[in-house]
Amino acid sequence: MRCSTTSAVAAAIAAAISFAPQSATAAEPEKIVDALGTVFGKHKARASGAKGQCVTGMFTPTADARQLTKSASFQKPIPVLGRFSMGGGNPKAPDTAKPLVRGFAFKLDPNGTTPSEFVMVNAPVNFAKTPAQMFGFLEARFPADGKQDPEKIKAFAAANPETTRQGAWLTSKPVPASYAGVSYWGIHAYTMTNTAGQAQLMKFKLVPTGGEAGLTDDEAKAKPADFLVAELTDRIAKKAPAGFDVMAIVGEAGDPTNDPTMTWRDEDKRKTVKLGTIAITAIEKNETCDAGIFDPTNLADGLAGPKDDPMFLPRQPAYAISLTRRAN
């Protein structure tokens, strides 16, 4: 798999500099990257999702996907470059931690002319509604004399109850036994448009083809801190299912698109349409993923992100700024 090029890095930085946010100040993505560094310490890894593993595979779309979108990413089988990660900026985060999100970032047709990119986590909601709230969440965790202040964290949570929803979701679930044994959500509301010009509001959910695999708290305690990559390597070697059905959760008129801390009404009972299947077929050297970013705003025509979700567009400049920091 070809590495992202220097010109891709330059383009990402240029886009970050020219970024014109909707409801955030231009400084916010950089402030957040700095804040992640203050909470997790400065290092040469990603500011978030610091610990992870690059992988490759294939995406095979369904005929139903072609009915919903004209996007080049959903017309024929195409390669996938992906990266699984542990949430947060600790490059040594233990794989047994319960309250940390597991992430799955991936590009459909990474070396093609019209790739689509996604950065998903194993929760249906985000922990902040706006970049300013994300900054506040991090600021409440800034260490003083090397220690976080639990009272400050508690006070922020009490004043911003929606920031506790993601953590509550994660702690209500078992520790994932595999990066390929848990569901991931795109969280944001997307719109798919087909060749007839019909638009459909939807959210993405990835459902593991081998089923959910969780650990009890005691089983998790007995696992080494870095078991997830070994498990995935073994799963792929055995040709056990290591992939995801890509599902569209079908949106309805009036569904909000501006709040990533909320699920839609009865979201888990909604009609879903299978858009295709991702099969992870190989572990890839991390340098391939580390050479660039996964930019969730880069989507092949026929698929669009939300226009009014304040968390969507700032992701590109934040990821590009983080890339420059880890490259220097």
**Span 21-60, contacts to ligand HEM by CB under 6 A:** 29, 32-33, 36, 46-49, 52
One-letter-per-residue 3-state SS of the chain: CCCCCHHHHHHHHHHHHCCCCCCCCCCHHHHHHHHHHHHHCCCCCCCCCCEEEEEEEEEEECHHHHHHCCCHHHCCCEEEEEEEEECCCCCCCCCCCCCCCEEEEEEECCCCCCCEEEEEECCCCCCCCCHHHHHHHHHCCCCECCECCHHHHHHHHHHCHHHHHHHHHHHCCCEECCCCCCCEECCCCEEEECCCCCEEEEEEEEEECCCCCEECHHHHHCCCCCHHHHHHHHHHHCCCCCEEEEEEEECCCCCCCCCCCCCCCCHHHCCEEEEEEEEEEEECCHHHHHCCCCCCCCCCCCEECCCCCCCCCCHHHHHHHHHHHHHC
Pick 66 or 315: Cβ nearer ligand HEM? 315
Name which position in 106, 137, 156, 319 contacts ligand HEM (CB under 6 A).
Answer: 319
Using CB under 6 A as the binding criterion, the count of chain residues that bind ligand HEM stands at: 30
313 binding ligand HEM? (CB under 6 A)? no
178 binding ligand HEM? (CB under 6 A)? no
Minimum CB distance to ligand HEM, residue 24 (Å)? 8
Name which position in 57, 61, 88, 103 contacts ligand HEM (CB under 6 A).
Answer: 103
Q: Which stretch binds ligand HEM (CB under 6 A): 169-177, 221-229, 238-246, 319-327?
A: 319-327
In this structure, is the dihedral angle defined by the CA atoms of residues 289, 305, 313 and 14, taken in order, positive or negative? positive
**Span 277-296, contacts to ligand HEM by CB under 6 A:** 293-294
**Span 53-92, contacts to ligand HEM by CB under 6 A:** 83, 85
**Span 131-170, contacts to ligand HEM by CB under 6 A:** 131, 134
Name which position in 187, 220, 247, 300 contacts ligand HEM (CB under 6 A).
Answer: 187
205 binding ligand HEM? (CB under 6 A)? no
Pick 32 or 182: Cβ nearer ligand HEM? 32
Minimum CB distance to ligand HEM, residue 59 (Å)? 17
Pick 66 or 203: Cβ nearer ligand HEM? 203
Footprint of ligand HEM (CB under 6 A): 29, 32-33, 36, 46-49, 52, 83, 85, 103, 105, 119, 121, 126, 131, 134, 187, 260, 293-294, 311, 314-315, 318-319, 322-323, 326
